[in-house]
């Protein structure tokens, strides 16, 4: 039975007394020297107050989730750092502040440090304070090798996967890579092929558990490497990290990973896979000759099922060929061949048995598109394109913590029982950026959330779910029911 490490705001009042030695300041303060703002025919007076107001009081929900799992203690055990001075911030405090800062919308070290002005974040996380920009720079310099990063983040990824329940049909592992464009001279930023042409970039490698939308692993690579660089070692690490009860039903990847050594690894592990084949000349000749195409219910789509052996393969493998007609709506996914106008072609190499029909193989692979949505969310809401430090391994550590904050965001929603996942941007807008007033009266830390009266029952249910010492299956509605004003 897992119990919470501490109450949601335990020991926070001591922090408040240290920071504010005066009496309760929740009472409205006298405001002078108003600034007059004219809005059309009316005017608004703008002044200042000494009240302890936070614009991120809604993060109390996420902080409660972290405390419920004792995540701060686990993070302290994973980090390679050790305090060298009694005045230095504990490494776990810096890491927790960075994770929460990223989730709050920061995408640079300076923006994370700016959140120190929020009076609520430190007591919510039960840390001394958020670090300055220089503190975070020194913190990430402590990650100085691949070994230190693996020893830290390997257990972190495993902890995330261990939150998943077993699934009757098993889970799907998707592999993908992305390019993070940078113009600086940081280590690892090299000129490589990107959708925007030959640009200076970094080239991370990621693994995803598709059904849970969780990142199972993250490796940073220089920008001038191929997509399949180090994919065998990366896959071995992923497979060794999976909990024993977590069954993989399928592995999927695009054409960048279609290498014989990697396919042989999957076959040696008895894993089924669907991988886009590279359309080299032998395979193009196979598509151009009299292939027996099987029609489908879609008149613009035909499939074929063949055995084919590339020159670097040890044996023949099953190929599912897809042909799609180019219509006025545009060219569908696939590659055009000059000798076969009017169609796009795609080939999938798979180890699925022949009992799985070609159309079912193609549809199963199409589910992989969701990992592209995860990468887009990492780019848009977790700062991956902006986080780049001077040293390569420091950059990998910062990006790994940012990706870990994404996983925590997904697990937070699972903890609440939400079936449909929402983006971090939506969570910030509707939940995390809820304002609140912080006070300390009679030795009790108090947060007064700025929430309309008709939404307060939903917030109470939310905190009851998060602070309950016992796991329960009572899901909380994703959002309060709309009022007549909302509708």
Residues 197-230: tens digit of each pLDDT: 999 999 999 999 999 999 999 999 999 999 999 9
Average pLDDT over residues 239-266: 95
Distance (Å) of CA 322 to CA 295, 325, 381: 10, 10, 35
Span of 143-147, 329-333, 380-384, 430-434 with lowest mean pLDDT? 329-333
pTM assigned to the model: 0.89
> With pLDDT > 90 as the criterion, what percentage of the chain qualifies?
67
Residue 443 reports pLDDT greater than 90 = no
Rounded to 5°, the CA angle 379-382-190 comes to 50
Average pLDDT over residues 130-137: 94
Separation between Cα atoms, residue 454 and residue 484, nearest integer Å: 11
Question: What is the token pair recorded at 303?
Answer: 């499939």
DSSP 8-state secondary structure symbol assigned to residue 106: -
Separation between Cα atoms, residue 68 and residue 409, nearest integer Å: 14
Choose between 84 and 33: higher pLDDT.
33
Q: Residue 293: its pLDDT value, please?
A: 86
Q: Residue 204: its pLDDT value, please?
A: 97
> With pLDDT > 70 as the criterion, what percentage of the chain qualifies?
88
Phi, psi of 326, deg, nearest 5: -80, 125
Residue 3 reports pLDDT greater than 50 = no
pLDDT band at 25 (very low <50, low <70, confident <90, very high): very low
Q: Residue 448: its pLDDT value, please?
A: 92
Best mean pLDDT range from 44-53, 325-334, 384-393: 384-393
Which of 425, 352, 419, 413 shows the shortest CA–CA distance to 383? 425
pLDDT band at 381 (very low <50, low <70, confident <90, very high): very high
Average pLDDT over residues 20-47: 67
Q: Is the CB of residue 343 less than 8 Å from the CB of residue 314?
A: no
Q: What is the mean pLDDT of the chain?
A: 88
Average pLDDT over residues 147-169: 95
pLDDT band at 320 (very low <50, low <70, confident <90, very high): very high
Q: Residue 330: its pLDDT value, please?
A: 61
pLDDT band at 176 (very low <50, low <70, confident <90, very high): very high
Residue 60 reports pLDDT greater than 90 = yes
Phi, psi of 174, deg, nearest 5: -110, 135
Q: Is the CB of residue 266 less than 8 Å from the CB of residue 251?
A: yes
Residue 481 reports pLDDT greater than 90 = no
Average pLDDT over residues 117-130: 92
Separation between Cα atoms, residue 135 and residue 131, nearest integer Å: 5
Which of 52, 100, 40, 69 shows the shortest CA–CA distance to 446? 52
Span of 33-42, 241-250, 300-309 with lowest mean pLDDT? 33-42
């Amino acid at each position: 039975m897992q119990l919470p490490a501490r109450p949601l705001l335990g020991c926070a009042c001591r922090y408040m007394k240290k920071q504010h030695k005066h009496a309760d300041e929740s009472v409205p303060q006298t405001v002078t020297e108003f600034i007059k703002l004219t809005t059309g025919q009316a005017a608004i007076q703008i002044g200042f107050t000494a009240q302890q107001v936070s614009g991120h009081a809604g993060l109390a929900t996420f902080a409660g989730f972290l405390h419920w799992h004792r995540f701060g203690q686990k993070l302290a055990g994973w980090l390679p750092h050790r305090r060298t001075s009694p005045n230095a911030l504990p490494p776990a405090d810096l890491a927790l502040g960075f994770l929460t800062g990223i989730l709050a919308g920061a995408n640079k070290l300076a923006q994370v440090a700016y959140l120190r002005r929020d009076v609520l974040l430190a007591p919510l996380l039960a840390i001394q304070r958020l670090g300055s920009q220089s503190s975070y720079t020194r913190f990430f310099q402590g990650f100085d090798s691949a070994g230190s990063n693996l020893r830290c983040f390997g257990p972190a990824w495993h902890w995330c996967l261990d939150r998943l329940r077993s699934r009757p049909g098993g889970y799907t592992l998707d592999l993908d890579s992305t390019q993070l464009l940078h113009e600086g001279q940081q280590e690892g930023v090299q000129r490589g092929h990107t959708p925007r042409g030959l640009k200076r970039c970094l080239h991370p490698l990621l693994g995803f558990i598709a059904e849970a939308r969780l990142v199972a692993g993250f490796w940073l690579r220089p920008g001038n490497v191929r997509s399949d660089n180090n994919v065998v070692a990366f896959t071995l690490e992923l497979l060794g990290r999976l909990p024993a009860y977590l069954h993989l039903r399928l592995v999927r990847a695009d054409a960048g990973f279609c290498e014989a050594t990697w396919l042989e690894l999957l076959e040696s592990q008895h894993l089924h896979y669907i991988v886009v084949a590279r359309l080299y000349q032998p395979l193009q000749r196979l598509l151009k000759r009299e292939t027996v195409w099987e029609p489908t219910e879609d008149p613009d789509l035909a499939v074929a099922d063949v055995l084919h052996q590339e020159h670097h393969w040890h044996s023949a493998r099953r190929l599912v060929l897809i042909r799609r007609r180019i219509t006025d709506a545009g060219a569908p996914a696939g590659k055009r061949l000059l000798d076969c106008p009017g169609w796009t072609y795609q080939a999938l190499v798979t180890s699925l048995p022949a009992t799985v029909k070609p159309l079912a193989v193609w549809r199963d692979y199409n589910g992989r598109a969701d990992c592209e949505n995860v990468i887009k969310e990492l780019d848009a809401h977790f700062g991956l394109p902006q986080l780049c430090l001077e040293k390569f391994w420091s950059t990998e550590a910062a990006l790994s913590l940012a990706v870990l904050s994404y996983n925590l965001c997904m697990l937070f929603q699972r903890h609440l029982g939400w079936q449909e996942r929402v983006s971090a941007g939506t969570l910030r807008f509707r939940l995390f950026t809820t304002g609140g007033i912080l006070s300390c009266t009679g030795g009790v830390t108090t947060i007064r959330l700025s929430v309309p009266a008709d939404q307060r029952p939903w917030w109470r249910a939310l905190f009851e779910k998060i602070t309950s010492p016992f796991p329960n299956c009572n899901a909380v509605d994703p959002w309060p029911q709309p009022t007549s004003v909302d509708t």
